């Protein structure tokens, strides 16, 4: 069914995505929830699906799932948000829904994929468009910058490289210096 919905008319795609959302909401099986959320995160990668996913409130579903106890569900939810946030309308929705703090919370996950997706999503939410739109990039607050300083020392090259890019491209030198001077480590417990 997934293959035909990608090739079929837009209505078929919407119906298929609606069926996935309904299945996620109704199933009691943790494994089924994981599989459905992984599918939704994969569909979020395709810009042709953005409008449908907004219509079906999948961004809110992903944001709500960030508070789940399951590391796997959180990984797929933040991955889906990461896939959706290159789009201006999706970014605006996440910002309006107060999603930045939930995404920042993912930085302390023991799952490296979750952390990498969270850093990337914060980059999307803090890009140059934010300054042009007159938005204060809350993702570059001092505790987050301090966290990125710690991540820049990570043995995981993907994570350390992302953190360095975040520090260089999304933070001012003053923000980095302020974060270096923080005495209390608000980011303790964040894996390196």
Per the domain annotation, does 170 fall within a domain? yes
Task: Give yes or no for a contact between 165 and 122, defined as CB atoms under 8 angstroms apart.
Answer: no
Residue 11 lies in a domain: no
Q: Is residue 9 part of a domain?
A: no
- Report yes or no on 13 lying in a domain: no
- Within-domain flag for 189: no
The number of distinct structural domains making up the chain is: 1
pTM reported for the whole predicted model: 0.85
Q: Establish if 1 belongs to a structural domain.
A: no
In a domain, 51, yes or no: yes
- Residues 85 and 118: beta-carbon distance below 8 Å: no
- Within a domain: 150: yes
Query: What SS3 class is residue 1?
Result: coil
Structural domain harbouring 77: 18-183
Which residues touch 126 (CB under 8 Å, ≥6 apart)? 137, 138, 139, 140, 170
CATH code for position 92:
1.25.10.10
Report the chain's C-alpha Rg in angstroms: 17
pLDDT per residue, tens digit, the chain (192 aa), is 344 444 455 568 999 999 999 999 999 999 999 999 999 999 999 999 999 999 999 999 999 999 999 999 999 999 999 999 999 999 999 999 999 999 999 999 999 999 999 999 999 998 766 655 555 556 678 889 999 999 999 999 999 999 999 999 888 888 888 888 874 544 444 544
In sequence order, which residues have a C-beta less than 8 Å from that of residue 137 and are 6 or more positions away?
125, 126, 130, 131, 170
Mind giving me the DSSP string for 99-162? HHHHHHHGGG-S-HHHHHHHHHHHHHHTSHHHHHTT---GGG-HHHHHHHHHHTT-S-HHHHHH
């Amino acid at each position: 069914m997934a293959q035909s919905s990608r090739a079929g008319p837009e209505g078929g795609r919407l119906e298929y995505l609606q069926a996935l959302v309904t299945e996620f909401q109704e199933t009691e099986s943790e494994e089924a929830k994981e599989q459905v959320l992984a599918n939704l995160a994969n569909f979020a990668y395709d810009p042709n699906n953005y409008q449908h996913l907004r219509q079906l409130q999948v961004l809110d579903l992903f944001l709500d799932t960030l508070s789940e106890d399951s590391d796997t569900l959180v990984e797929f939810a933040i991955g889906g948000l990461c896939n959706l946030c290159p789009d201006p309308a999706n970014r605006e929705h996440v910002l309006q829904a107060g999603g930045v703090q939930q995404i920042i919370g993912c930085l302390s996950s023991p799952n490296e994929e979750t952390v990498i997706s969270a850093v990337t999503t914060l980059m999307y939410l803090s890009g140059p468009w934010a300054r042009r739109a007159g938005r204060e990039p809350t993702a570059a607050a001092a505790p987050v910058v301090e966290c990125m300083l710690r991540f820049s020392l990570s043995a995981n090259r993907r994570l350390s490289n992302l953190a360095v890019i975040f520090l260089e491209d999304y933070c001012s030198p003053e923000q980095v210096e302020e974060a270096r001077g923080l005495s209390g480590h608000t980011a303790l417990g964040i894996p390196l």
